[in-house]
């Protein structure tokens, strides 16, 4: 439960090894030595993330197994995370996702389906489970890590971009569905984030870092915003890009 000053007492990160998710949890946990639950698939990665959170000032860090594609387990994972945190969750960060390999996935195999399954279907399942937890509590916020790639899908990464477009639209609707329940949703739309997921790729203009995304997210939570773009100027850029004629849009560099 948040204290009288609004400091967060408990955070769940779904996709617990995510650099952005861990950066957000670090920023939220430190002021109150909050409890953080990291939910993910790989024990060694979760252990590294837990150690980083402890160094950052988290009071207690718990790790649990979570698979975005194991839909039947999502309610159980979130309920066990709430129990581990003392009964409720102030912030649930939906931080899992896969980038895929556009060229390889177009050529065949199940890569494209995996991207859609994890990034969209997994987010729907986990998002609904998280919303049920917030309704039971009567408070809390879901932080959904979307992407500028979903605002208008480009040829260069349309499989990933379309999965994020669907995910973003889902959380917009989920936000409306939580009105009056005490729960809320914050959609975070970063641009190109320089980190493990994009290592070796050429940074796009207005690129950012996990730490900058975390800082903007914490400010947006404090201000009770529904959407935040990181960096902020991306909002104006995409307002123009959204209305480019298709013939011009196809020529936007990948």
Model confidence pLDDT, tens digit, residues 28-76: 998 888 999 999 998 899 999 999 999 999 989 999 999 999 999 999 9
Answer yes or no: is 1 within a domain: no
Place of tokens 């389906």: 113
Q: What's the mean per-residue pLDDT of the chain?
A: 93
> What is the mean predicted confidence (pLDDT) over 130-156?
96
**160 is written with which tokens?**
């990933």
Peptide bond into 96 cis (omega under 30): no
State the Cα–Cα distance between residues 25 and 35, nearest whole angstrom: 9
CATH number reported for the structural domain that contains residue 126 in this entry? 3.40.50.720
State the Cα–Cα distance between residues 9 and 90, nearest whole angstrom: 7
Q: Which of 28-37, 82-91, 180-189 has the lowest mean pLDDT?
A: 28-37
Task: List 40's β-bridge partners, or say none.
Answer: 65
Q: Which of 1-15, 139-153, 216-230 has the lowest mean pLDDT?
A: 1-15
Answer yes or no: is 136 within a domain: yes
CA 49 to each of CA 26, 34, 154, 207: distance values in angstroms, whole numbers, following the listed order: 10, 15, 32, 23
Answer yes or no: is 5 within a domain: no
State the Cα–Cα distance between residues 93 and 24, nearest whole angstrom: 8
Angle, vertex CA 122, rays to CA 62 and CA 51, nearest 5: 25
Q: Check: CB of residue 130 under 8 Å from CB of residue 181.
A: no
238-251 pLDDT, tens digit each: 999 888 998 888 88
pLDDT at 247: 87
Q: How many helices (H) and strands (E) does the chain have?
A: 10, 7
> What is the mean predicted confidence (pLDDT) over 85-98?
96
State the Cα–Cα distance between residues 7 and 100, nearest whole angstrom: 36
Nearest to 186 by CA among 198, 197, 195, 174: 174
Position 204 confidence tier, pLDDT thresholds 50, 70, 90 = confident
- Annotated catalytic residue, options 66, 160, 171, 192: 160
Range of the domain at 189: 10-249
Asked if residue 169 has pLDDT above 90, the reply is yes
pTM value? Answer: 0.94
Asked if residue 229 has pLDDT above 50, the reply is yes
Give the SS3 label for residue 62.
strand
Answer yes or no: is 142 within a domain: yes
Number of domains in the chain: 1
> What is the mean predicted confidence (pLDDT) over 132-141?
97
Answer yes or no: is 240 within a domain: yes
> What is the mean predicted confidence (pLDDT) over 95-122?
97
> What is the mean predicted confidence (pLDDT) over 107-114?
97
120 is catalytic: no
Q: Which of 20-24, 29-33, 229-233 has the lowest mean pLDDT?
A: 29-33
Answer yes or no: is 24 within a domain: yes
Answer yes or no: is 4 within a domain: no
Answer yes or no: is 209 within a domain: yes
pLDDT at 5: 43
The dihedral built from the CA positions of residue 134, 139, 140 and 146, taken in this order, carries a sign that is positive
């Amino acid at each position: 439960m948040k204290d009288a000053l609004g400091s967060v007492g408990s955070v769940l990160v779904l996709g617990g090894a995510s650099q952005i998710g861990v950066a957000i949890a670090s920023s939220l946990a430190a002021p109150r030595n909050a409890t953080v639950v990291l939910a993910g698939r790989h024990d060694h990665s979760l252990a590294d993330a837990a150690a980083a959170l402890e160094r950052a000032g988290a009071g207690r860090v718990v790790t649990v197994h979570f698979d975005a594609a194991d839909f039947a387990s999502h309610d159980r994972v979130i309920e066990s995370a709430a129990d581990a945190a003392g009964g409720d969750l102030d912030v649930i960060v939906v931080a899992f996702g896969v980038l895929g390999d556009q060229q390889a996935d177009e050529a065949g195999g199940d890569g494209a389906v995996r991207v859609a399954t994890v990034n969209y279907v997994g987010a729907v399942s986990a998002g609904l489970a998280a919303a049920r937890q917030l309704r039971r509590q009567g408070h809390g916020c879901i932080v959904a890590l979307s992407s500028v790639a979903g605002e208008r899908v480009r040829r260069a990464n349309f499989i990933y971009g379309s999965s994020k477009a669907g995910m973003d639209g889902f959380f917009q609707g989920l936000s409306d569905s939580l009105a009056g329940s005490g729960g809320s949703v914050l959609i975070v739309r970063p641009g190109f984030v320089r980190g493990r997921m994009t290592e070796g790729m050429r940074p796009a203009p207005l690129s950012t870092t996990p730490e900058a995304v975390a800082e903007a997210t914490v400010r947006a939570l404090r201000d009770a915003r529904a959407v935040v773009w990181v960096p902020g100027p991306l909002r104006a850029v995409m307002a123009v890009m959204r209305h480019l004629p298709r013939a011009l849009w196809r020529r936007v560099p990948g």
